[in-house]
Structure 1
Amino acid sequence: MRNLIISLLLSLCASTAWGAKASWITAADDSVNRPNTWIAFQKDVVMKTKPRSLKARIACDSKYWLWVNGNLVVFEGSLKRGPAPGEGYYDEIDLSRHLQRGHNRVAVLVCYFGRSGFSHEDSGKSGLYIDSDNAELCTNASWMSRIHPAYDTATGEMPNFRLSESNISYDARHAIDGWQTADVSAKYGFTPSVEIGAWGDRPWGKMTRRPIPMFKDFGVKAARFELHEGARRDTVIAFLPGNLQVTPVIDLTATQGGDTIDIWTNHSHMAGAWNVRAQYVTRQGQQQYESLGWMNGEKIILYLPKGIKVNGVSYRQTGYDTKVVGTFHSDNNFYNRFWQKALNTLYVNMRDTYFDCPERERAQWWGDEVILTSQAFYTLSLSSIDLMRKGMLELAAWQTDEGILHAPVPGTYKSELPGQMLAAVGLYGFWNYYMNTGDSATIRKVYPAVRRYLERFPLDSTGLTAAYKATWLWGDWGDNRDIRLIFAGWHYMALDAMARMADIMGLDADAAQYRATMEQIKKGYNHCWNGYSYRHPQYMGATDDRVQALAVISGIADESKYGEIFNVLKTQEYASPYMERYVMEALFQMGQGDYAMRRLKKRIAPMVNDKDYPTLWEFWDARKRGFRGGSSNHAWSGGGLIVIAQKLMGAETIDPCWRRFKIDPQYVTFGEASLSFPTLSGTVSTAFKRDKTQLTMSVGVPAKTEALVYIPSTATDRITIDGRALRTDRIVTDAQWAKAGKTAVWLRAGNHEIRVAK
């Protein structure tokens, strides 16, 4: 009892320390809430001793940069607003190693977006909030501030309506150099800040601790550049080592001040839209400038008047703090290049959220996110898991009063794409997250929202998902979409996922209801089989390859239909790069992995072979269209990476967290290949090499896990494991694991080698 009382008192002390002396603050200026306003804050803090630990809770609308004693501590802090409508995020940072005994000067630059978009909800009010157990650091009227006079909005076209960011202009003639360490009151006219609210007050609302790492800063690096002289103005093109998220840094000399330089990337106008760019207005002499609003692209492009000398162009790459730790290699150079381009596309679409493309939208479309997160589990370090969890919680929290789940969120987009929503909450989305993480707590949080959403999908008299009314009945890009069966396939798999979620939560009645509804849909779907393919009777277009694929991967189609479905998939190619992942998987499931790989290569070769773009495109023919309406770095086009890892290399989890998993390669396309990737249980690896005399398999099994390995032979006398003949008592005989023409064995922790003589 005594320990409980002490614990409660400590908790009370902690809660009263946070927020007890801090306020939301802004500058004393009538223009502070104008879109794209930049506000500089400064405070002197005296430390009696150098602190061992000093945590600060920092929030703002919308982004901030923080210096301590002139040293940059945070480059682009804060997340775009919207863990739920009307709410925001805060960062928690330990500042102790940046502070010294005695006098310290803390400076913060805040950028207030002042407009909502497809990934940010504007509060309507600029503000900074810093809370700490050191009262001097807490934001209040003792902080000095002013609107930064050099920042403004660039002239010309604004970024398209999906983006909350503005085009930044910086006029160096109005710079306040060194303000982070200067006596700003005397030198730059800073005045005491205005206290405008307390923790939890509107319009900033409830604040949630940042659930993902701070962004990774790769440092400033020089870029090779070329000068192209023109009649009226010159162009400088600087080359980046890939399609990166960067802030451009320029070093130049101007004979006079007042000239405007336009700062673009080759993605500033891309995918049929105006995206982010910047401007810089010179002062006389040599000068350096870093434009703090990130852009992406392969090139930085400067348009500048005559008479300006560019001394150098550099860039600071920033991005989500994760690493590529998974590896893949094969003896097929085409697919090695495809894998790398898929990885490039994956990483450039990660930051505040996963997004579909990094220039036009920066938006959390869940059809894309399902594919990106599945790729991440096979390629990236485990910190990437946090970004998917954040997306799941946001999707559930933004559910409408009518029970609709819609994306992208957070932000202004309100339309529902039911196909993408069903994919998100289904086997390939939320359930895949659980199988890779074992995070039942998050499943419990999102379950009520998903249950309520699925109540919106009744069945018709045939047993199929009833015709659905939504703002956008999308289904997929491209022609010949058999919408009724597309939705029924996704609905079936969403119900399957929910039944499994209900199982782990002990909700037996829910699970039974979901499975009963699945049986009705399965029956109705199979009534649409005409002997050659699945077609809804109201559908008049060409037979849809997507629908056949969904029938296979969902389990609606039994093996007796595989031959005819395969014939359809050999002739019908309507699936976009988004849905091609599921067509590939269906082909592998039907034992046609070789054709799956040939079909993907045929369709995606223009992207993989293109030497100008290191990422994958939104549409098969996006470059032919001049990227008008389609991006060159679209998240969903890397789905083949997942299929190679799961189906060709055969690495799939059986239990949550990969405590038990299977290795069941399909030996197509590659003579040799290797794959390794991190899991929460440790690194899993698998490799094979085929020649005329034998097959060699290698399997790495983490500690405290087991691997069910399928060996492509029933001639057990030709099989050795770790140099020893296979004993018959090691062969798995349980019917649930049996596969025709294969021998299955369980392998425990360690590195194993299997040889099969031909």
Structure 2
Amino acid sequence: MKTKQICLLLFFSIILFSNRIVAQEWKGKWIGLASQDTSLINIWAGFRKDFHIDRLPKQAIAKIAVDSKYWLYVNDELVVFEGGLKRGPNPNDTYYDEVDISKSLKKGSNTIAVKVWYFGKHGFSHNSSGKLGLLFDLQSDNFELYSNKSWLVKRLVEYQSAPGKEPNFRLPESNILYDARVADMGWFSRKGDVTSFEPAVEEGIVGSAPWNNLVKRPIPLWKDFGLKTFHPQDVVRNGDTVICRLPYNMQFTPYFDMEANEGDSISIVTDNYLYYNGSAENIRAAYVAKDGRQQYESLGWINGHVLYFIVPEHVKINQLMYRETGYDTEFAGFFECSDPFFNKLWQKAARTLYITMRDTYMDCPDRERAQWTGDAVLEAQEAFYALTPSSHALARKWLYELIGWQKVDDVLFSPIPAGNWDKELPDQALASIGYYGIWMYYMHTGDKQAIVDLYPAIQKYISLWEKDKDGLVLLREGGWQWGDWGENKDMLLLYNLWYYLALKGSYLMADEMGYNGDMLQIGEEMKRFKQAFNQRFWNGKEYRDPSYSGKTDDRVHALAVLADIADKDRYDLILDVFSKQEHASPYMEKYVFEAMYKMRQPVLANARHKKRFAEMVNNPNFTTLFEGWGIGKDGYGGGTVNHAWSGGGLTIMSSEACGIKPLEPGYKTFSVTPHLGDLSYAKTKVPSIKGEIASSISRSADQMAVKFNVPKGTTALFELPFEKYKSILINGIPVDESIEKGKIAVGNSDRQWIIPEGKWEIKISI
């Protein structure tokens, strides 16, 4: 068993990530503190190296690895604000960064300094190595610099753990207390006093335990928006409390410039700590002042809509600021329509998505910061419509980590990476490896290598599912039979439908890779499965497990429609279920929304979504969406106010209302199939990897006009949303004439047209 585990880890480190650097290519050594108590948590250390350069290199790429985070200074300039990724790509290994520091180097004397924050504990998003360490390796044509015992190091004793309650066990970060009375403010400076330093201790070469193999960071370094000042009208001081309203819910680090007395205590918290904490202790910060004027930025990021400084009343505040940081992407996607509700939904969903992206996709940025894989399914799809393609790397990282953490018995679990959790959520795992997970990633990115790499491990997990004599899967125990938040979950049906969608994803992947044997086998299983499922669970008016005694599960019917288990002749009865049953949480409501659009019922779909999401979308106090239908006790799982699984409507409005979605991997062909329902107009921009796709649709009583562009190297399939029409003009020319002249071609029906690259306007008289 141990041999199998070693082989799996080697496979995932070398083959899947395809960027492990073997030990002989590195000259840097892991270095650490001379005396380190490995039982301590929240340790900060400062490393520095003074050196001389005769000739400046054109490029100077430093490879930097730490457990857990670092800040890089070159010649007193902060070059990297929070580098490093939480461990790890698999249960053993560590990520490393690449940073080009050539622009910060100078001829003559130079100083590099690295501030390292070692969490020292596991969490739902981090697998601690158990030891603080730094590895630095820079090899250019005419300059080399690498970490070894010639570097200096000191424990930064000013960084401590704040007194009081620690963050809950899901978070590896600690509450940071900074004691300015004992701080060495110039330790990283070229002119700093180095007498308090000691020589660093060499801990081993690349590949040494406990950090093991190194995997190149697969996502960009964080985007730093810079320090920004609060608007005066957003700051209110009331006694010992200063209340600062942020422009929106964000990941940020707080900064202050104050005049205080030695020993004055300052607390730093947000509204997400005080009020909307998901029923768990989250992260805060504290500061002990020296005498006089002082500036400080707390480096552990927090989030919220409101920042609070609790300070003695005699403290003079000169300036309060914040630094937003986050995943390096842009809000390139766009949606707008005639209904303000859906505009606000899309905007809040995009904001919630962004705040749940950092080292991994997260369920929430406060209570857990954990990559629950079911959440990532929805978040990745939202990102395809809202963000630039740089966001795709985070989805790829999620999928590779999911497989990289596969257990030796082939079980998949989440959240990952994690050092203190390994329980399987069967339905979330199936969603991730199936049609809505890896296949949807492939359709939007065209990243065939990912499906080639991950397909074998996916099949191992699927093979774990036990079946009855009819080929339907049995209820899998897993680590947590979750299903969804809320009540009335028909679990056996939910598991079977997610399993079928996993088969569908595998079938499509096998077809894409030319695995004909697998494709035929899976296809036959799907045929038998559909027949057996309908025969056993359809009772003439709804889907139901005969042994299930709860109310009819709307989630089940949504998945049955989306999986094509339910044929169209059952749609009217299923619509009746949707009109009477509302049990899905915001997480599963996306699939209900999507199913109703697939059933060509956009008016009913929009009405249900508006009804269910009204409280959170219309709430003027929050720029993000909630975990459950309400806040706190009225929500699920503690009820956070920033859960991107609630933003599935963003995907649906762009992909279904405006009808833009890939039909071939990487948008080689995409659909333009608008279904406005009761909307009079809608427009969207989709930042596809082939280029921006912009579409606008307007409708009156007797006409619909659709304008859209088809990027270079792509083809659009336009589908008429009406059964009947009077006439159609394409770029001002009747459709039949356009076909005759070869400007467009007929698709699979007389209501579909294949549109080449260019700008198009289609006017339909109805």
Deviation at 1:477, TM superposition (A): 0.6
Structure 1 residue 707 corresponds to structure 2 residue 691 = no
AA at the equivalent of 2:73: W
Give the Å deviation of 1:623: 5.2
* Mapping 1:430-445, distance limit 5 Å: 430-445=438-453
1:635: how far off?
Answer: 1.4
| Backbone CA RMSD of aligned residues | 1.9
Q: 1:46 to 1:18 in 2, by over 3 A?
A: farther
- The answer for the alignment partner of 2:188 in structure 1 is 180
* In 1: Cα distance, 2:309 partner to 2:112 partner: 33
Tell me the SS of whatever aligns to 1:137. strand
**Cα displacement (A) at 1:227:** 4.3
For residues 288-687 of structure 1, the aligned pairs below 5 Å read 288-411=295-418, 412-527=420-535, 528-622=537-631, 625=634, 629-687=638-696
What is residue 121 of structure 2 aligned with on the other side? Answer: 115
Aligned length, in residue pairs: 736
Contact (CA 8 Å) 1:132, 1:138: kept in 2 or not?
A: yes
Provide the C-alpha distance between the structure 2 equivalents of 1:521 and 1:87, rounded to a whole number of angstroms: 40
Q: 1:278 to 1:580 in 2, by over 3 A?
A: same
Shift of 1:470: 1.4
1:54 maps to 2:60: yes
Question: How far apart, in 1, do the equivalents of 2:540 and 2:87 lie?
Answer: 52
Q: Which stretch shows the higher mean deviation, 501-510 or 567-576?
A: 501-510
Q: Kindly state the Cα deviation for residue 514 of structure 1 after the two structures are TM-superposed.
A: 1.7
Give the Å deviation of 1:182.
4.7
**Is the CA contact 1:144–1:185 (under 8 Å) kept in the aligned structure 2?**
no
Distance 1:209 1:327 in 2: 32
1:67 to 66, 73, 79: 73
What CA distance in whole angstroms lies between the structure 2 residues aligned with 1:15 and 1:128? 17
Distance 1:466 1:370, change over 3 A: same
- Out of 26, 38, 46, which is 2:44 matched to? 38
Distance change (3 Å), C-alpha of 1:734 and 1:401? farther
SS at match of 1:239: strand
Pair 1:746 & 2:754 matched: yes
> For 2:502 and 2:23, how far apart are their aligned partners in 1?
44
Paired with 1:635 and 1:346, the residues of 2 have a C-alpha distance of 5
Structure 1 match to 2:283: 276
1:45·1:136 contact (CA, 8 Å) conserved in 2? Answer: no
Cα contact 1:730–1:746 (8 A) shared by 2: no
Q: Structure 2: which amino acid aligns with 1:315?
A: Y
TM-aligned CA distance change 1:91 to 1:136, over 3 Å: same
Asked if 1:210 corresponds to 2:221, the answer is: no
Distance in 2, matches of 1:175 and 1:638, equals 44
> What is the alpha-carbon distance in structure 1 between the residues aligned to residue 194 and residue 733 of structure 2?
82
Contact 1:716 1:726 in 2 (8 A): no
* Secondary structure of 1:450's aligned partner: helix
Cα-to-partner distance string for 1:96-139 (whole Å, 9 max, x where unaligned): 11101111111110000000101110000100000111675211
Shift of 1:715: 6.2
Over residues 383-408 of structure 1, what are the superposed CA-to-partner deviations in whole Å (9 max), with x where a residue is unaligned?
Answer: 00000001100000100111100011
- Change in CA separation of 1:531 and 1:367 when aligned onto 2, cut-off 3 Å: same
Secondary structure of 2:368's counterpart equals coil
Shift of 1:628: 7.7
Instruction: Name the counterpart of 1:260.
Output: 265
Percent identity over the alignment is 43
Q: Contact 2:745/2:753 (CA < 8 Å) preserved in 1? A: no
Structure 1, residues 236-284: CA drift from partner, whole Å, max 9, x if none?
A: 1111110000000011111x21121111111124010111101000111
Q: d(CA) in 2 for partners of 1:19 and 1:558?
A: 59
Q: What is the alpha-carbon distance in structure 1 between the residues aligned to residue 177 and residue 130 of structure 2? A: 22
Matched position secondary structure for 1:429: helix
CA distance in 2, matches of 1:578, 1:599: 15
CA contact (8 A) 2:38 2:130 kept: no
Distance in 1 separating the partners of 2:218 and 2:633? 40
- The Cα shift of 1:228 comes to 4.2
CA distance in 2 between counterparts of 1:627 and 1:15 reads 46
Q: Distance in 2 between matches of 1:347 and 1:451?
A: 32
Give the partner amino acid of 2:695.
T
Instruction: Give 1:735 shift.
Output: 10
Q: Which residue of 2 aligns with 1:28?
A: 34
| Deviations 1:620-669, CA, capped at 9 Å, x for gaps | 12256388811000010000111111111111211111111111111213
Supply the distance in 1 between the matched residues of 2:329 and 2:238 (Cα, whole angstroms): 40
Question: What is the alpha-carbon distance in structure 1 between the residues aligned to residue 725 and residue 579 of structure 2?
Answer: 36
Alpha carbons 1:329, 1:675 under 8 Å: kept? yes
Q: Which residue matches 1:170? A: 178
Moved more, 330-339 or 505-514: 505-514
Separation in structure 2 between the aligned mates of residue 286 and residue 666 of structure 1, nearest angstrom: 61
Matched-pair contact (CA < 8 Å) for 1:479–1:574: yes
Residue type at the aligned position of 2:269: W
Contact 1:272 1:627 in 2 (8 A): no
SS in 2 for 1:727: helix
Q: Which runs of 4+ in 1 moved over 4 A?
A: 14-17, 182-187, 713-717, 731-736
Specify the alignment match of 1:3 in structure 2: none
TM-score (norm 1): 0.94
- The answer to whether the 8 Å contact 1:321/1:383 transfers is yes
* 1:617 partner SS: coil
Q: Using the alignment, how far apart are the partners of 2:347 and 2:245 within structure 1? A: 19
- Looking at structure 2, the residues matched to 43 and 669 of structure 1 have their Cα atoms a distance apart, in angstroms, of 66
Alpha-carbon distance in structure 2 between the residues aligned to 1:113 and 1:501: 39
- Distance in 1, Cα, partners of 2:238 & 2:708: 58
* Alpha-carbon distance change, 402 to 218 in structure 1, aligned in 2, over 3 angstroms: same
Cα shift at 1:310: 2.2
Partner of 1:85: 91
* Cα distance in structure 2, aligned partners of 1:487 and 1:192: 57
Unaligned residue ranges in structure 1 (runs of 5+): 1-13
- CA-to-partner distance for each residue in 1:195-252, whole Å, 9 max, x for gaps? 111111010010100100000000000114544444xxx1111111100000000111
Is contact 2:270-2:305 (8 Å) kept?
A: yes
Q: Distance in 2 between matches of 1:626 and 1:309?
A: 40
Going from structure 1 to structure 2, the CA distance change for 1:200 and 1:66 (only over 3 Å counts) comes to same
The equivalent of 2:748 in structure 1 is 737
Structure 2 letter corresponding to 1:304: V
Distance in 1 separating the partners of 2:494 and 2:383: 26
Return closer, same or farther for 1:705/1:65 CA change in 2, 3 Å cut-off.
Answer: same
Q: Per-residue deviation at 1:503?
A: 1.4
Q: Could you say what secondary structure the match of 1:403 adopts? A: coil
Q: Is the 8 Å Cα contact of residues 465 and 521 (structure 1) preserved in structure 2?
A: no
User: How far does residue 690 in structure 1 lie from its aligned partner after superposition?
Assistant: 1.1
**1:268 match: secondary structure:** helix
Q: Which of residues 92, 103, 116 in structure 2 aligns to 1:97?
A: 103
Superimposed CA distance per residue, residues 9-61 of structure 1 (whole angstroms, 9 cap, x where no aligned partner): xxxxx9788423x2111122334762100000111121111221111110001
Shift of 1:332: 1.4
Q: 1:158 aligns with which of 163, 166, 173?
A: 166
1:359 counterpart letter in structure 2 = D
The answer to which of 436-445 and 73-82 deviates more is 436-445
Cα offset for 1:191? 1.1
Aligned-partner SS, 1:470: coil
Matches of 1:724 and 1:734 in 2, distance apart?
14
- Unaligned 5+ segments in structure 2 are 1-20
The answer as to whether partners of 1:326 and 1:380 remain within 8 angstroms in 2 is yes
